[in-house]
Structure 1
Amino acid sequence: MKVIVDVAIIPLGAGLSLSKYVAECEKIFREAGLKTTLHANGTNIEGEWDEVFNAIKKCHEHLHSIGVPRISTNVRIGTRTDREQTMEDKIKSVEEKLI
């Protein structure tokens, strides 16, 4: 099943700057061959359900392995059965209505 996910993986107890941990997860998503869009408060990910959630799990495992004691993750999930839709399709649909 195709899925579009908005995920915020939040390392806790790892200091004030978290960008190095965000970068580690972005590398994991790319290595998994997932389509991603980084934004100010998280990452949008597009792919097959199992691949996306396996990559999120791998982020948790990796961050813990490099010393992050706690992680809080927020996930929003979107699926469709009537047709395939990409992240770009969703954005384009809104932008067309702004004209």
Structure 2
Amino acid sequence: MALFAFSVAPLGAGESVTEPVARAIKVVRDSGLPHRTDAMFTTIEGEWDECMDVIKRATDAIGVDHGRVSLVIKADIRPGHSGELEGKVERVHRALDAS
């Protein structure tokens, strides 16, 4: 299992990238993988191959209208662990509450 945080956006699209990014996020939502989207990244959790497939399809969804796409990926690969999308955050909150 792994967490993949990624940011994908068209290059040269002007000030707003809302519409193409929304298409990419729809791919993530439709995948059924656990995910979270914030202002900078979308994080998904799953097996390596299924996550990379979702990231590729999300990138392709943006590339439909734009010839050039920027993609940044960060991965936390932890075989044998699941539920880390929430688990990592919960552990930090417990540590903060204990201090």
Category of TM-score, reference length = shorter chain: 0.7 to 0.9
Give the structure-1-normalised TM-score: 0.88
**1:89 pairs with 70, 73, 87, which one?**
87
CA contact (8 A) 2:9 2:62 kept: no
* 1:6 to partner: Cα distance: 0.8
Runs of 4+ aligned residues of structure 1 deviating over 6 Å after TM superposition are none
Q: Which has the higher strand share?
A: 1
Percent of residue pairs identical: 31
Give runs of aligned pairs for residues 44-83 of structure 1, distance below 5 A.
44-65=43-64, 67-81=65-79, 83=81
Secondary structure of the residue that 1:98 maps to in structure 2? helix
| Unaligned runs of at least 5 residues, structure 2 | none
Give the structure-2-normalised TM-score: 0.88
| Unaligned runs of at least 5 residues, structure 1 | none
Cα RMSD, aligned residues only: 1.4
After superposition, the C-alpha distances for 1:25-73 in whole angstroms (9 at most, x for unaligned) are 11101111111101111111111211111111112222222x1121111
Q: Which has the higher helix share?
A: 2
